[in-house]
Amino acid sequence: MKKILIIGLMLVILTGCNNKKELNTNIKNNNENSIINEEIIEDNILTVHSEADTFLDFSDNSVIFNSVKYVALVKIEEVAGSDNYSYVTNQYVLPYTYGKMKILKVFKGDLEINKVVDFYRLGATMKFDKYYEGLTDSEKDKINKLNEGRKVKYKYVDSYTGKKVQIEKDKFYLVYLTDEKSYKNEENSYAIIGFEYGLRKVKTDNDNLVTTESFKDLDVLNNETGEYEKLSSVVNKNSY
């Protein structure tokens, strides 16, 4: 049975994609069920979109800042793979993406600057067969009903909660973190939480961090509006 790792009510929307859809990903093939490092154009993709009703308003900058253990500016060094299994509880869970990130600046918490650590984040693009293995009978029925009783074998699943935000190798992000205890529970491992509010791309020049007199002068993306805004308006000013 799938164990949902989100507190609150979750509404899952399933969408079968029969037209060609392009999925850009740099997930490597450490996990045979992950997408290989290539651009994929595929006719049969199942989109699984979840909406979570949480007790906290993560859209409020002060709320999300105060609710997490760490806030940091990072560079994504590697997007290593995806999975839907917890090796802590030995149960299937919602798909997640994992990889490595380098800590560049810490705004909250005790993290080592320039250290490369593991990250995990809810949401992933993965092979359909692996995803289907982790579903309950009722969830499998929903997918089968989408195909009017016909057994259609999707090749890939694109699963995300809230607004979809792509995490990309060699890009810089403002991230909101907690110690990772749900998937593997290893040292130097952190979960990026807060949905679209917990992963905000930093505006860069030619994939290099823009040089500024202060980190507060950096621009970070508001995933709701699609506009960039000053980091100083997002992160607690006492953190500089």
Please tell me the distance from the alpha carbon of residue 13 to that of residue 1, in angstroms, as a whole number.
19
pLDDT at 229 exceeding the cut of 60: yes
Q: Name the more confident of 239 and 100.
A: 100
Please tell me the distance from the alpha carbon of residue 41 to that of residue 61, in angstroms, as a whole number.
37
Alpha helices (H) along the chain:
61-67, 128-133, 137-146
> What is the percent of the chain with per-residue pLDDT over 70, rounded to a whole number?
72
User: How many Cα atoms are found within 13 Å in the side-chain-facing hemisphere of 166?
Assistant: 11
Average pLDDT value for residue range 44-73? 85
pLDDT at 189 exceeding the cut of 50: yes
pLDDT at 239 exceeding the cut of 80: no
Average pLDDT value for residue range 134-157? 79
> What pLDDT score was predicted for residue 74?
95
Burial class (CB in 10 A: 0-12, 13-18, 19+), 48: buried
Predicted TM-score of the model (pTM) = 0.81
Q: Collapsing DSSP states into helix, strand and coil, what is residue 59?
A: coil
Q: Collapsing DSSP states into helix, strand and coil, what is residue 7?
A: coil
> What pLDDT score was predicted for residue 238?
65
Average pLDDT value for residue range 2-12? 40
Q: From the centroid of its chain, how far is CA 146? A: 26
Q: Name the more confident of 194 and 5.
A: 194
Spatial CA neighbour of 10 closest among 123, 118, 130: 123
Beta strands in 87-227 (DSSP E): 91-108, 116-122, 124-127, 156-161, 172-179, 189-192, 199-201, 204-205, 208-209, 219-221
pLDDT in tens, 18-32: 444 444 444 444 455
pLDDT in tens, 74-85: 999 999 999 999
Q: Name the more confident of 50 and 124.
A: 124
> What pLDDT score was predicted for residue 4?
39
- Cα torsion for 64, 70, 73, 75, to the nearest 10°? -120
> What pLDDT score was predicted for residue 180?
97
Please tell me the distance from the alpha carbon of residue 192 to that of residue 120, in angstroms, as a whole number.
6
